[in-house]
């Protein structure tokens, strides 16, 4: 068994406009600091990290984790979450900008992640996973479901598509326009979903570091004592979506320093792509696999690479994906950014925003910006099937599931 109902709790109605927080990695550290300062009850106060501290704060990692746990204890003691008497499968709908995604919120086996039965598509940074694993150990709860996709499964897709007769247990709209609606499913529908998911291929779409942290946390628990299959650490809070309903956006790039004059860089760029100046961001926005856009010195450029074939698979497909090709041929090949995870000149920006904001960053702080097209979900799943993984910040799943709606204790003392 790799899937079961969740034994978690839900945000209470009186706190539902205060606790649910924006997705952590959809914000910059400055944006997170503003949310934390303006919204003391936001779950972001529980998930904050050292980079979210104000300059001059001398808090250590251990002190910050203790503060995060204290914030969770305060929310729980204040009645921010309500408990349910039985484990439950939830129908979780996200609606924003005319797009709707519906998932089943369940618990998935951490062993299935560890073995690769739930297939990843991105590399993770070990140090980031270790930080999140320590968070699980000290704070003792999960609240941000990982997002998992399933290829078409008739029983699963049908069970999610039909609107339940019962009233939703949560129905809220956040300041950014995201409407989140949650239903507790009856036993018959829950059983149909669990049966449909127990023998299908599942793909990790969002939350690779959270998944890796759960594996590390489980291994810590196993190292100290035998761990039964019912141990809370052996399961992870998950939202499972039909793959065809998902919307993937891009991660764009900003490089703070340009080692050569702008006109020299454009000439170098012409060696790897066809480069055309265009009048504005709307014209520059790339939509096809070979394309990317560049903003430099007040001008947008549309860049097209020749990939040589209409149909690619396996290693060829991976090599020609926009974030991989851009890293190889431009960031490393022209700008010397060999390690995109550690080079301080490179910053990744989630997609879905007006490209003029990316241009404004260059106008204000210098450097050069790159806009990429979003990946295609079938490409991502096909690569995962073949065991290939993408570099970090290759895909941006939107809308993201949020923290603070669900609370799944790992530590039994975290209980409403």
Are 275 and 312 within one domain? yes
Is residue 416 one of the residues assigned to a domain? Answer: no
pLDDT of residue 27: 81
Is residue 375 one of the residues assigned to a domain? Answer: yes
Report in angstroms the alpha-carbon separations of 329 from 49, 270, 286, 312, 409: 33, 11, 17, 19, 46
Are 148 and 42 within one domain? yes
Are 308 and 351 within one domain? yes
Domain that holds residue 178: 3-247+398-409
Is residue 137 one of the residues assigned to a domain? Answer: yes
Is residue 348 one of the residues assigned to a domain? Answer: yes
Q: How far is CA 369 from the centre of its chain?
A: 22
What is the C-alpha to C-alpha distance for residues 240 and 238, in angstroms, rounded to an integer?
A: 6
Are 234 and 290 within one domain? no
Domain of residue 258, CATH code: 3.30.1760.10
Is residue 414 one of the residues assigned to a domain? Answer: no
Beta bridge partners of 96: 99
Are 221 and 359 within one domain? no
Q: Which residue has the tokens 């529980």?
A: 46
Query: Chunked in runs of 10, what are the mean pLDDT values of the chain (416 residues)?
Result: 92 96 83 91 93 76 94 96 92 94 97 94 89 96 96 90 91 93 95 92 94 97 87 97 92 93 94 94 85 95 80 80 91 93 89 88 96 91 90 84 95 86
Are 283 and 223 within one domain? no
pLDDT of residue 132: 95
Q: Name the residue among 153, 195, 186 with its Cα closest to residue 1.
A: 195
Are 67 and 157 within one domain? yes
Is residue 209 one of the residues assigned to a domain? Answer: yes
pLDDT of residue 72: 97
Contacts of 70 (CB under 8 A, 6+ apart): none
Report in angstroms the alpha-carbon separations of 166 from 96, 182, 185: 23, 11, 8
What is the C-alpha to C-alpha distance for residues 115 and 155, in angstroms, rounded to an integer?
A: 26
Report in angstroms the alpha-carbon separations of 248 from 151, 244, 251, 291, 377: 15, 11, 10, 16, 7
Are 334 and 351 within one domain? yes
Under 8 Å between Cβ of 233 and 146: no
Are 42 and 140 within one domain? yes
pLDDT of residue 311: 67
Q: Which residue has the tokens 């090709």?
A: 325
Are 65 and 115 within one domain? yes
Are 144 and 197 within one domain? yes
Is residue 175 one of the residues assigned to a domain? Answer: yes
pLDDT of residue 56: 66
Is residue 415 one of the residues assigned to a domain? Answer: no
Q: Name the residue among 236, 241, 208 with its Cα closest to residue 6.
A: 236
pLDDT of residue 353: 79
Are 146 and 183 within one domain? yes
Torsion, Cα 32 235 118 221, to 10 degrees, reads 90
Q: How many domains does the chain have?
A: 2
pTM for the structure as a whole: 0.89
């Amino acid at each position: 068994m790799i899937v079961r109902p969740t034994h978690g709790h839900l945000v209470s109605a009186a706190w539902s406009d205060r606790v649910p927080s924006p997705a952590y990695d959809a914000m910059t550290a400055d944006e997170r600091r503003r949310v934390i300062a303006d919204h003391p009850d936001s779950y972001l106060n529980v998930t904050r990290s050292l980079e979210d501290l104000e300059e001059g704060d001398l808090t250590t990692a251990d002190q910050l984790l203790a503060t995060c746990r204290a914030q969770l204890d305060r929310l729980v003691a204040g009645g921010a979450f309500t408990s349910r008497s039985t484990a439950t499968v939830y129908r979780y709908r996200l609606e924003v900008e005319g797009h709707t995604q519906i998932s089943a919120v369940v618990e998935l086996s951490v062993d299935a992640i560890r073995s690769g039965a739930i297939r990843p598509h991105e590399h993770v940074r070990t140090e980031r996973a270790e930080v999140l694993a320590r968070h699980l150990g000290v704070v003792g709860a999960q609240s941000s479901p990982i997002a998992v996709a399933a290829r078409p499964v008739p029983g699963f897709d049908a069970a999610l598509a039909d609107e339940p007769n019962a009233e939703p247990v949560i129905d809220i709209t956040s300041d950014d326009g995201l409407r989140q609606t949650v239903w507790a499913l009856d036993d018959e529908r829950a059983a149909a979903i669990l049966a449909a998911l127990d023998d299908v291929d599942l793909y990790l779409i969002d939350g690779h570091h959270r998944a890796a942290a759960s594996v590390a946390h489980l291994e810590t628990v196993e190292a100290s004592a035998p761990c039964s299959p019912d141990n809370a650490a052996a399961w992870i809070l998950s939202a499972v979506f039909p793959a065809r309903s998902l919307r993937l956006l891009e991660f764009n790039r900003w490089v703070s320093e340009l080692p050569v004059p702008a006109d020299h860089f454009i000439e170098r760029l012409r060696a790897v792509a066809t480069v055309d100046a265009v009048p504005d961001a709307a014209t520059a926005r790339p939509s096809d696999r070979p394309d990317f856009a560049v903003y430099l010195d007040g001008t947008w450029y549309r860049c097209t690479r020749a990939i040589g074939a209409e149909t690619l698979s396996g290693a060829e497909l991976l090599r020609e994906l926009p974030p991989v090709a851009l890293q190889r041929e431009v960031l490393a090949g022209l700008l010397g950014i060999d390690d995109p995870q550690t080079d301080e000149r490179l910053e990744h920006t989630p997609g879905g925003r007006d490209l003029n904001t990316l241009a404004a960053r260059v106008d204000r702080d210098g450097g050069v910006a790159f806009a990429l097209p979003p990946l295609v979900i079938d490409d991502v799943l096909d690569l995962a099937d073949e065991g290939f993984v993408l570099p970090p910040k290759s895909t941006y799943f939107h809308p993201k599931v949020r923290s603070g709606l669900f609370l799944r204790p790992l530590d039994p003392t975290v209980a409403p």
